[in-house]
Amino acid sequence: MRPSDLLTMTPSGLYCPQADAHIDPVRPVRRALITHGHSDHARAGHGAVLATDETLGIMAVRYGPDFAGATQAVRYGERVDLNGVTVSYHPAGHVLGSAQIALQCGGVRIVASGDYKRARDPTCAPFELVPCDVFITEATFGLPVFRHPDTRHEVDRLLASVRVFPDRAHIVGAYALGKAQRLMALIREAGYEEPIYVHGAMERLTQFYQDQGVQLGEIRKVQAAERPKLGGAIVICPPSATQDLWARKFPDPVTAFASGWMRVRARARQKGVELPLVVSDHSDWDDLCATILQTGAGEVWVTHGQEDALVHWCVTRGIRAQPLHMLGYGDEGEVEPETNVLAGEAAPAEAAT
């Protein structure tokens, strides 16, 4: 069997004809295999959804209990047979419950990694290397300029700022699923014991993480009336809220933003971010390249992000590679629609404090 017989591109996304299943489809389909709960990968309205228990839980939090006709929870490492295709889920290290999906049939194994990272994350299972013939990789940060620093260093910068400005509220923009909770866990690891405040928009997902046993310490939802009293506090909110009137009600706020894009100085400036924190839930360039080599794949398909550079890198190493030019991904996790980093604007972000 050729890999393209096992898995093919359709307008709805990657499709396995023999199993009659799509991976992370962008339109409603009969049977969907979902890698993780970010809204560009996990959509409501499918006939049946196979995903990890955590991803199913996240989808229920976001879309309500009836988000699919039927659901089936798959444990990491468990093998599910779909009409002769063996399907298994393996940790992707991206957010709670995130999985790479392996399809095996006729001596061919394809691994669709969804989004993944190799950096440590106390809130989810670490990435598992799955040897395969074809590795399907994202390329969100698929340019050599993207090298993510140690997240501990970034969190230390945040806490240092809180010490230097004890009267100013620190408003940290972070994506509501995964990034926010990872940041909370890392702040706790760094020894910060005060309550961490959250915007109402991330309260339920944060509660879900805690219900799953992820230790985040005392988390409090911000009440509108108490905003002026939160000098010195750390407040985590969706990135868009940092620009809102909502954020201006806090005492002399320091605006921070936790994203891999904060590596790009122009991006931080453009967003009015005083304290850019380079914290990413995606692999940086070095980890993308290392992972491709470690899988032993002879062929690589690049799904979304900066596809061309990674394809070129593979080809120069004798690995067959092609961009899939998939549309509809990258609207939640961390992907920015513009690609002006390619126009030479990319430069390491300066420390803002």
Residues that bind Zn ion (CB under 5 A): 38, 115, 333
SS3 of 166, please?
Answer: coil
- Is residue 230 within 8 Å of residue 169, measured between CB atoms? yes
User: Least separation, in Å, of the C-beta of 287 and Zn ion?
Assistant: 15
Percent of the chain as helix, strand, coil, to the nearest 5: 30, 25, 45
Q: Which is nearer to Zn ion, 35 or 206 (CB)?
A: 35
Residue 117 to residue 333: CA distance in whole angstroms: 12
Q: Which is nearer to Zn ion, 51 or 162 (CB)?
A: 51
User: Least separation, in Å, of the C-beta of 282 and Zn ion?
Assistant: 8
Q: Which is nearer to Zn ion, 67 or 116 (CB)?
A: 116
Residue 260 to residue 31: CA distance in whole angstroms: 33
Q: Tokens for 52?
A: 């990890």
Q: Nearest CA to 88 among 96, 80, 300?
A: 80
- Is residue 249 within 8 Å of residue 171, measured between CB atoms? no
| Residue-wise DSSP of 70-99 | EEEE--BT-EEEETTEEEEEEE-SSSTT-E
Q: Which is nearer to Zn ion, 85 or 310 (CB)?
A: 310
User: Least separation, in Å, of the C-beta of 36 and Zn ion?
Assistant: 6
207 Cβ contact partners less than 8 Å away, ≥ 6 residues apart: none
- Is residue 196 within 8 Å of residue 234, measured between CB atoms? yes
User: Least separation, in Å, of the C-beta of 302 and Zn ion?
Assistant: 16
Q: Which is nearer to Zn ion, 44 or 82 (CB)?
A: 44
User: Least separation, in Å, of the C-beta of 278 and Zn ion?
Assistant: 17
User: Least separation, in Å, of the C-beta of 94 and Zn ion?
Assistant: 6
Q: Tokens for 212?
A: 């799953």
Residue 262 to residue 165: CA distance in whole angstroms: 21
User: Least separation, in Å, of the C-beta of 330 and Zn ion?
Assistant: 8
Q: Nearest CA to 168 among 254, 235, 275?
A: 254
Q: Which is nearer to Zn ion, 115 or 154 (CB)?
A: 115
Q: Which is nearer to Zn ion, 168 or 179 (CB)?
A: 179
β-bridge partners, 91: 99
Q: Which is nearer to Zn ion, 169 or 177 (CB)?
A: 177
Residue 203 to residue 201: CA distance in whole angstroms: 6
Residue 186 to residue 216: CA distance in whole angstroms: 9
User: Least separation, in Å, of the C-beta of 156 and Zn ion?
Assistant: 26
